Amino acid sequence: MKKLLLLICLLGLLPTITYADSAYSIRHKDHIRQDYEIHVDFPNFDGLKNKHLEEEVNEEIKSVLEKSINQTQKAGEESVGFPVLYYGESIVVEEEQFYSVVMTANITRGNQYHSTVRSINFENEKDGVFLTLDEVAHLDKLNEQVKKKLVSDPETFNAQGFQGIRKDTAFYIKGKKLTLVFDKYEIASGVFGTPEITIPYDLVEKDKPLHKKTVPVPKVV
């Protein structure tokens, strides 16, 4: 019940920043307790063409936030002598009618600092649907291109530790380029934060299905 009340406080009537002619507004919330602090910025969509999809997008954003909130609460309960900090930030990338919400969760516990990135990708059309990475790109071709990037810059990247693209690796498309955003420590040392790898989209592009279908919200794992 306490977690539910906290989520309602965080995601309910929050201060918003609205941009003219935008399909979304930015909400912000600070929640400070003795054992943890939560500071989040996240988008709330209210101008999408598909209202059913709009509702699902907002629910998925809340789901991503809820997971980080629960992790922060649990870490705070187990922490002794210092609070746990969760700072959540989001960006919205638009490429014509293709939207990407890239959400970064930074959680600090003493001298332990970790960041994870997730993206929610969808089409802003009347029959728009969610689109996953493997629906917009050939993962085998994408892995090849990423490996080339890693090997070409050994001072930054750890090519040997690369385990391949995850199906839920965060991504966005902009200017005919596909950019992958990795978790902290996933392909590079912590000093590089959440590193990005950008690939010309035409090298990995996958034809989207010609027909539209109802796609369930991709659940956070």
Instruction: Compute, in degrees rounded to 10, the torsion defined by CA atoms 61, 66, 69, 71.
Output: -120
Same domain flag for 26 and 75: yes
Query: In this structure, are 14 and 114 located in the same domain?
Result: yes
Quote the tokens at residue 159. Answer: 């090519």
- Report the percent of the chain where pLDDT is more than 90: 72
Residue 214 lies in a domain: no
User: DSSP code of 130?
Assistant: B
Relative to beta strand 84-95, strand 36-45 is parallel
11 or 158: which carries more pLDDT confidence?
158
Mean pLDDT of the residues in the chain: 87
- Whether 185 maps to a domain, the answer reads yes
The verdict on 77 and 93 lying in the same domain is yes
Task: Say yes or no: 147 and 109 in one domain.
Answer: no
- State the Cα–Cα distance between residues 92 and 102, nearest whole angstrom: 6
Q: Closest by alpha carbon to 188, among 167, 214, 162?
A: 162
Total of domains in the chain? 2
Domain limits at 173? 132-208
CA–CA gap between residue 13 and residue 162 (Å, rounded) = 42
Q: Identify whether residues 7 and 63 lie together within a single domain.
A: yes
* pLDDT reading at 218 higher than 80: no
Residue 220 covered by a domain: no
pLDDT digits (tens, 9 = 90+) for 40-98: 999 999 999 999 999 999 999 999 999 999 999 988 888 777 889 999 999 999 999 99
Mind listing the pLDDT tens digit for each residue in 131-167? 999 999 999 999 999 999 999 999 999 988 898 999 9
CB atoms within 10 A of CB 152: 10
* Model confidence pLDDT, tens digit, residues 103-115: 999 999 888 889 9
Q: With bands split at pLDDT 50, 70 and 90, how would you rate the model's confidence at 1? A: very low
Instruction: Return the pLDDT at 213.
Output: 45
E strands, the chain, are 16-18, 24-32, 36-45, 84-95, 98-109, 112-123, 170-174, 177-181, 196-200
Comparing 17 with 32, which gets the higher pLDDT?
Answer: 32
Residues 85, 172: one domain? no
Q: Is residue 27 within 8 Å of 41, Cβ to Cβ?
A: yes
Q: From 79, 102, 128, give the residue that closes a domain.
A: 128
Domain match, 186 and 173 both: yes
Does residue 174 share a domain with residue 65? no
How far is the C-alpha of 54 from the C-alpha of 165, rounded, in Å?
28
Of 86, 111, 128, the domain-final residue: 128
The CATH code of the domain that includes 75 is: 3.30.565.40
Domain's final residue, options 77, 108, 128: 128
CATH code at 160?
3.90.640.20
Please indicate, yes or no, whether residues 110 and 1 belong to a single structural domain of this protein: yes
pLDDT above 70 (res 211): no
pLDDT of 20: 43
pLDDT of residue 22: 87
Helix, strand, coil in percent for the chain, rounding step 5: 30, 35, 35
Give domain status of residue 219, yes or no: no
Residue 21: pLDDT band with limits 50, 70, 90 = low
Q: What is the pLDDT of residue 208?
A: 67
Q: For residue 28, what pLDDT is reported?
A: 93
